[in-house]
Amino acid sequence: MKKIAFVFPGQGSQYVGMGKEVADNYSDAREIFMKADQVLERRLSELCFNGPEESLTDTRNAQPGILTVSVALLQVFKEEGIKPDFVAGHSLGEYSALVAAEVLDFATAIKLVQKRAELMAGSDPEGKGGMAAVLGLSRESLSACLAEIQGEEKVEAANFNCPGQIVISGAKSGLVKAQELVTAQGGKFIPLAVSGPFHSSYMKRAADDFQAHLTNIPWREPVVPVIANITARPYLREQIVENLYRQVFGPVLWEDTIAYLAQNGVEVFVEIGPGKVLTGLIKKTIKDALVLNCADLASLKKALEILKEV
């Protein structure tokens, strides 16, 4: 049997209507939405199913919403008896991966994610920071560009997504300079519609505040290996708090994570959650991998059918 990795998307994959079909068709999935509403004491499910989009896009709603949809879809795989050999998640998605590995339960995870979202949303109240995707430059070339931007205008690599795609994060004034340097090197610069300079040292204060919440959790040993964003290596139980703390202000090593999984025999990647951003990134990283995405009822049923054959 081929080795399987479940991977879970992060913020930006949300859309109005996400999770509704799976909740309508699977009772275990529906219970996850009910649990989210109960724990958060608000109708998060209604926001996921019906919007409005501007409210769902808010970090404080998008993060718990994506976690809920991902875990709801995960319940169907559990029902069907399909188990992964590894799990990983992109940024926020790491919390879905930790739930999948039974490191913490869903109720605990969504409370943590809500707090994480609130702290991240409040980390740049004056809107001085931002993020951009850089296409077509190597890590070394981009690093040389960013080294020219110092001080309060500093810009850092935030997400190493796949070969030739790196997201950068920092001061908006620094991003203007980065655009000039990147285009001069022949790269493409795409500003992102985000509310702050995530995964950069500008998030250090939010991370420090978040750390206190992480230390009070009764973490359990992973039942399957969880690959950490910050190291691209499996979690050890004693590293959980440190990894999640550093993840707030450190880079997401997604390309390295996928490469590690492939080197360890994974041939099938299943993206579980809204959208299919990770599916595209994985295909650009591992050309011959079987990559499936499960975002709605049709893609879920198709993936389940294929997985029963591999």
| 64 and 54 Cβ atoms separated by less than 8 Å | no
- pTM strictly above 0.85: yes
Domains of the chain: 3-123+202-307 (3.40.366.10), 129-194 (3.30.70.250)
pLDDT in tens, 41-76: 999 999 999 999 999 999 999 999 999 999 999 999
90 is an active site residue: no
The answer to whether the CB of 84 falls within 8 A of the CB of 74 is no
- The predicted pLDDT at position 101 comes to 98
Amino acid at 222: P
Alpha-carbon distance of 99 to 106, in angstroms, equals 6
Q: Which listed residue (13, 91, 169, 200) is catalytic?
A: 91
Evaluate the omega torsion of the peptide bond into residue 52 and state whether it is cis, within 30 degrees of 0: yes
Q: Exactly one of 13, 169, 199, 200 is catalytic; which is it? A: 199
pLDDT at 237 exceeding the cut of 90: no
**199 has catalytic annotation:** yes
CB 296 within 8 A of CB 31: no
Instruction: Give pLDDT tens digits for 90-119.
Output: 999 999 999 999 999 999 999 999 999 999
Q: Judge whether 130 and 243 are in contact, CB under 8 Å.
A: no
DSSP state of 2: -
How many residues are recorded in the chain?
310
pLDDT, averaged across the chain? 95
C-alpha to C-alpha distance for 171 and 146, rounded to whole angstroms: 12
Lookup: tokens for 276: 């299919």
